[in-house]
Amino acid sequence: MPGILSLFRDRETLHKIRVLALPSVVEEALNTVVQYVDTAMVGQIGATASAAVGLTMTCNWLICSPLWAMGVGILACVARSIGAGEREKARRYAFQSLWIGGVLGVLIAVLVQLLAPQIPVWLGAEPEIRADASAYFAIICMPMLFRALSILLSATLRSAGDSKTPMKINMSANILNMILNYLLIHPTHAVRIAGLRFTVWGAGLGVRGAAAATALAFALSGTLMFAAYLRHPMLSPLGHRGETGILPNPALLKDILHIGLPSAGERLTACLGQVVFTSLVSGLGTVSLAAHSIALTAEEAFYIPGYGMQAAAATLAGNALGEKNVKKLQRTSVTIAFLAFTIMGLMGIILFCFPSVMMGIFTNDSAVIALGSVALRIVAVSEPLFGVAIIMEGVFNGIGETKTTFLFSAFTMWGIRILFTFLCVRVFGLGLTAVWCCMVADNVARCLLLCAKFMRGRWKSKVAA
């Protein structure tokens, strides 16, 4: 394993990491700001509204998991082709994202509209939040076709080293979301600016207004991402119909699915676990569910660096695989993992010191703030290791070792988080604090397993083959 100091003397590697990771970090930060604004605006309505929105958060992750998984497959295949100098093959792989996005987008949208009324009931939500939770989930999933294209084409652009375009597009969508949130959630009201009084129109739709704002932002993001893909000089099918074709390519789809299906299994297993996890928390009552949901949102800001650098780790790993360069893959992976550990460690200290400030951004309910603050202090301790786990997942995904992440994620989610949460809540009658300890145990165990797999080095035979 190369020394840490020698890694940071490699200016070329650091430059590549910066170019790929910085736009993604900025994008993650912007997404988190929007999530903060959404949660804060809904939180002003009350704990019941916060619980209604938070209840379906994990279901949202679940239904998007196949899209993120196929994005992993597309990114790995395109990045590997580019690393091997096979640009025409990279273009053909990229074109498959349109078919995958179209089919999955339509199927998921229809499925959600059919199941949305029953989901809050299945999750054990209290009757007063079921109607809003169902409506929120159904509305944000209506433009799923656009959302699918946004996710898959974003992965396609990143695999070609273009992180700036997805960042700019998501920035535009996020700005629209915040503006529409303000106008659609609250009723018409007076605002004073510099001593002047203005009347601002508002639809007064509450939770449904927040959902409509999010849905329209997804539609904009998907449209702009599709336009950016068509303009990309390396990936666009325009002007290359003879080589690319307009029909799906079974051989290329097989390659994507070979990587994407284990990743889909990993994400579905993890997200389904999150749904079960939330259902166990919902049994603790509305205050605990609100505190849990808001604390999860508050924590998002503190793992921005990890997820922002994950795409860079996957892209560089895929490039190294195409080049058959083991040393390059190891060097870039360790460098990004160390950066994530350091940065998220510093952010974990901030989270540990100021949890009540973070909770106070989203709600005025003192009981919710107090309970959520304890949860945030618990998770703050594990942030550095969580960052390393995120990067290692990106590395293994980038070289197509998605079975590894699937098996480890399934084991830690169900064998640690869910099992021990069930025992804590249903058997021993413990509260939210014990639940978050189980969540931290899951994250730490996954980090240790992924690092052990990486250090054993069996993946090197695949890269050098």
Q: Contact 289/429 with Cβ under 8 angstroms?
A: no
Classify the C-alpha dihedral 274-119-284-185 as positive or negative: positive
Pick the range with the lowest mean pLDDT from 112-116, 319-323, 338-342.
Answer: 319-323
- Please tell me the distance from the alpha carbon of residue 110 to that of residue 138, in angstroms, as a whole number: 10
Q: Which residue shows structure tokens 């980038």?
A: 398
Query: Is pLDDT of 2 > 70?
Result: no
Q: Contact 307/371 with Cβ under 8 angstroms?
A: no
Residue type at 191 in one-letter notation: V
3-state SS, one letter per residue, for 410-456: HHHHHHHHHHHHHHHHHHCCCCHHHHHHHHHHHHHHHHHHHHHHHHH
- Please tell me the distance from the alpha carbon of residue 465 to that of residue 460, in angstroms, as a whole number: 8
- Please tell me the distance from the alpha carbon of residue 356 to that of residue 353, in angstroms, as a whole number: 9
Pick the range with the lowest mean pLDDT from 31-35, 109-113, 272-276, 351-355.
Answer: 31-35
73 confidence band (pLDDT: 50, 70, 90): confident
Q: Which residue shows structure tokens 């994530």?
A: 340
Q: What is the pTM of this model?
A: 0.75
Pick the range with the lowest mean pLDDT from 49-63, 81-95, 326-340, 372-386.
Answer: 49-63
Q: Which residue shows structure tokens 């004073």?
A: 192
Looking at residues 115-125, what average pLDDT do you find?
Answer: 85
1 confidence band (pLDDT: 50, 70, 90): very low
Query: Is pLDDT of 457 > 80?
Result: no
Looking at residues 68-90, what average pLDDT do you find?
Answer: 87
- Please tell me the distance from the alpha carbon of residue 441 to that of residue 12, in angstroms, as a whole number: 36
The top-scoring range by mean pLDDT among 21-30, 261-270, 271-280, 330-339 is: 330-339
pLDDT, residue 219, reads: 96
- Collapsing DSSP to helix, strand or coil, 17 comes out as helix
pLDDT, residue 246, reads: 66
pLDDT, residue 39, reads: 67
Q: Torsion angle of alpha carbons 370, 373, 375, 376, nearest 10°?
A: 170
Name the token pair of 63. Answer: 């239904």
pLDDT, residue 56, reads: 75
Q: Contact 274/62 with Cβ under 8 angstroms?
A: yes
Question: What percent of the chain has a predicted confidence (pLDDT) above 90?
Answer: 37
- Collapsing DSSP to helix, strand or coil, 382 comes out as coil
8 confidence band (pLDDT: 50, 70, 90): low
Name the token pair of 441. Answer: 């145990």
CA-based radius of gyration for the chain: 22
Question: What percent of the chain has a predicted confidence (pLDDT) above 70?
Answer: 92
- Collapsing DSSP to helix, strand or coil, 376 comes out as helix
149 confidence band (pLDDT: 50, 70, 90): very high
pLDDT in tens, 427-451: 999 999 999 999 999 999 999 999 9
Nearest one of 221, 280, 254 to 34, comparing CA atoms:
221
Helix, strand counts (H, E) of the chain: 22, 2
Mean pLDDT of the chain, nearest integer: 85
Query: Is pLDDT of 107 > 90?
Result: yes
- Please tell me the distance from the alpha carbon of residue 142 to that of residue 215, in angstroms, as a whole number: 7
Residues in contact with 233: Cβ distance below 8 Å, sequence separation at least 6, in sequence order: none
Looking at residues 366-395, what average pLDDT do you find?
Answer: 93
DSSP string, 77-89: HHHHHHHTT-HHH
Q: Which residue shows structure tokens 């980090």?
A: 447
- Collapsing DSSP to helix, strand or coil, 196 comes out as strand
51 confidence band (pLDDT: 50, 70, 90): confident
Name the token pair of 316. Answer: 């560089």
- Please tell me the distance from the alpha carbon of residue 94 to that of residue 74, in angstroms, as a whole number: 7
- Please tell me the distance from the alpha carbon of residue 316 to that of residue 86, in angstroms, as a whole number: 16
Length of the chain: 465
How many structural domains is the chain composed of?
1
Nearest one of 405, 276, 394 to 339, comparing CA atoms:
394
- Burial zone of 12 (CB within 10 Å; 0-12 exposed, 13-18 middle, 19+ buried): exposed
Domain range for 254 is 4-464
296 confidence band (pLDDT: 50, 70, 90): confident
Give the DSSP letter of residue 277. H
